[in-house]
Amino acid sequence: MSIKMTRRSRRLLGGVAVLACTLAGGLTACGGGDETVEDSATAGEVTWWGWTPAEEVIANTYIETFNKEYPDIKVTFKQVGLADYDSVMRPALASDQGPDLYGIAPGVTFGQFAQFGIDLMPAMVELLGEDWKSKLLLTAADPLIDEAGALKAAPVGINFAGPVWINQDLFDQYGLEPPTNFDEWVEVCAAFKAQGQGCYVHGAQDAAFNRDVIQSISDTINPGLMAKALAGEEPWNQPDLVATFEAWKRMFDEGIMEEGALGVTHYPDAHNKFLAQDYAMIAMGQWYGQYAVESILIPAIEGAGVSNPEPFTVVPILFPAANDQATPGAMFGAADYGLAVNAKSKHQKAATTFALWLATSPNAQQVVANALNNVPALASIQIDWEAAGLVNLAVQQGPIEQMIETCKTTTEGRGMEHDPAVIDSLGQAASNVAAGNQTPEEALEWLQATLQG
């Protein structure tokens, strides 16, 4: 086949080439426009991507407070769902188009994404002094420091799992007391169901939240044991963990878990059902305190699909004791997230200003504390309960305050640092036991062989 180029064709081809060059030039000019922007610590536009705060109203409160001190730095928050966070951040950070600031959690996320952040240690030392770590809570900073000693993210706050949150209004309405052990829990759920009210909702499709509940059960039986098993320091196939899995199975068999829990996600399904008051109890970490704040709860209820949302009283209780020898209560966690500054950012100074302001400024940490999404990293900060705006201060303040004080002294980890395959295997064992495919003993033998064999 021969292609004969007429004069007209040549002109057309030439025109296309000129158009393509013009477009390419224009795009290059657009893309390269930022290169001429001077990086300043007090002015600029900064993008911030994170899975938390889950409610944008909290992030916007942080930014509004920040802009009172730094009016010339514009921060734009983009909430990326937890489930999609890794898949979104990997290509974003590998490219030149990633955010200026990004949230980073200890453990696997830190292992993957810390390399893209700058070292914030010099700036932190300059702000808080050489003994900066002593001004933070125990578990806030260390998980965000890499092997070379670089602080890759400014710690904003710490987070703990372990409690169960209840809708106190529903308990009062049906004249029920929160359960302190599994026998009472079974009775409470039967009573709720007899009234046509859902009792405890859990998204057992999510391995990470199954891990939280199983670790809570385990902690009531033998505190710290499961954290050690996750770290490979204790075998899985031992009696206290068998008892843990038996209690987990009991939740499905005796009507504590809602029907079909294995097909439900914790976020958003179970979370939305709790906010819609379809269920009276849910296992969530201390971060769920944010829904005790009326200004955060109302839009969240609307987001759960409820029209004309009415606030209700959310209160944490200790995780019920799993058997006769167990003690109620469990708490485990670490740094929730830090803010990392992207090494490819053209606004590193402005981004660093915001990250360190949120982590170290008493004003910022007070806003963090009052939002009840995190326990603030700065140890000196106390919650201003009047300013926080709880739905029912008299009922909520005591239990939430007690929970937060426990968090501040807890050192047991949540297992975030482990390979995701460990959590995946644990999730598989948990599902198999829940579905009756394996006995607790069989599942734990399998876990032992898979993870430590």
Partner 1 sequence: MAVTKPAAGPSRRQHHRVLQQGRGQRRSRGQRRYRVQRPGYAWVAPAVVISIGLLYFCLGDTAYTSTLQWDGVSPNPEHVGLRNYSELLHDPIFWRALRHCAVFLVITFTIQTSLGIAFAALLHSRIRLASLYKVIIFIPVVLAPSIMAPVFRLIFAADGQFNWVLRHIGLGFLAHPWLGDERTSLYVIMFIQVWEFTGLTFILYYGAMSQVDHSIIEAARLDGAGNFRTLVSIVLPIVKGTTVALLMLSVIGALKIFDIPQLVTLGGPNYSSEFLSTYIYRHSIPLARVGFGAAASMVLLVLAVGFSMIFARLGRRGGDR
Nearer to partner 1, 10 or 78 (CB): 10
Minimum CB separation from partner 1 for residue 205, in Å? 6
Contacts of 350 (CB under 8 A, 6+ apart): 39, 40, 41, 42, 43, 44, 45, 46, 73, 100
Report the C-alpha gap between 116 and 416 in whole angstroms.
20
Minimum CB separation from partner 1 for residue 418, in Å? 12
Report the C-alpha gap between 105 and 102 in whole angstroms.
10
Residues 264-293 as x/- pattern, contact with partner 1 by CB under 8 A? xx---x--------x---------------
Nearer to partner 1, 40 or 115 (CB): 115
Minimum CB separation from partner 1 for residue 436, in Å? 10
Contact flag: residue 29 with partner 1 (CB under 8 A): no
Query: Contacts with partner 1: how many residues (CB under 8 A)?
Result: 40
Contact flag: residue 5 with partner 1 (CB under 8 A): yes
Rg over CA atoms, the chain: 25
Minimum CB separation from partner 1 for residue 230, in Å? 16
* Single residue of 112, 181, 327, 397 touching partner 1 by CB under 8 A: 112
User: Within 10 A of 247 (CB to CB), how many other CB atoms are there?
Assistant: 24
* Single residue of 94, 125, 190, 387 touching partner 1 by CB under 8 A: 94
* Single residue of 2, 36, 307, 308 touching partner 1 by CB under 8 A: 2
Nearer to partner 1, 2 or 380 (CB): 2
* Single residue of 238, 432, 448, 450 touching partner 1 by CB under 8 A: 432
Contact flag: residue 24 with partner 1 (CB under 8 A): no
Contact flag: residue 93 with partner 1 (CB under 8 A): yes
Contact flag: residue 425 with partner 1 (CB under 8 A): no
Report the C-alpha gap between 360 and 344 in whole angstroms.
24
Minimum CB separation from partner 1 for residue 277, in Å? 14
Contact flag: residue 251 with partner 1 (CB under 8 A): no
At 155, phi and psi to the nearest 5? -70, 120
Report the C-alpha gap between 226 and 235 in whole angstroms.
9
Six-digit token pair at 391?
């739905």
DSSP lists the bridge partners of residue 78 as 49
Sheet of 198-201: strands edge to edge?
198-201, 279-283, 164-167, 314-317
* Single residue of 431, 439, 448, 450 touching partner 1 by CB under 8 A: 431
Six-digit token pair at 147?
């092997």
> In which residue are the tokens 């167990």 written?
326
Minimum CB separation from partner 1 for residue 434, in Å? 8
Six-digit token pair at 439?
């006995």
Residues 67-86 as x/- pattern, contact with partner 1 by CB under 8 A? ----------------x--x
User: Residue 40, by phi and psi: left (phi above 0), alpha (psi -120 to 50) or beta?
Assistant: beta
Sheet of 332-341: strands edge to edge?
73-79, 44-50, 101-104, 332-341, 154-161, 375-376
Looking at residue 422, its amino acid is V
Minimum CB separation from partner 1 for residue 392, in Å? 28
Say how many residues make up the chain.
Answer: 453
Residues 175-204 that bind partner 1 (CB under 8 A): 204
Contact flag: residue 156 with partner 1 (CB under 8 A): no
Instruction: Report the helix count and the strand count for the chain, using DSSP H and E.
Output: 18, 10
User: Residue 436, by phi and psi: left (phi above 0), alpha (psi -120 to 50) or beta?
Assistant: left
Contact flag: residue 22 with partner 1 (CB under 8 A): no
Q: What is the 3-state secondary structure (H, E, C) of 124-152?
A: HHHHHCCCHHHHECCCCCHHHECCCCCEC
User: Within 10 A of 304 (CB to CB), how many other CB atoms are there?
Assistant: 17
Contact flag: residue 150 with partner 1 (CB under 8 A): no
Minimum CB separation from partner 1 for residue 145, in Å? 19
Residues 203-222 that bind partner 1 (CB under 8 A): 204-205
* Single residue of 124, 156, 261, 300 touching partner 1 by CB under 8 A: 261
Looking at residue 254, its amino acid is E
Contact flag: residue 97 with partner 1 (CB under 8 A): no
Nearer to partner 1, 165 or 446 (CB): 446
Residues that bind partner 1 (CB under 8 A): 1-5, 9-10, 13, 83, 86-87, 90, 93-94, 108, 111-113, 115-116, 204-205, 258-265, 269, 278, 420-421, 424, 428, 431-432, 435, 437
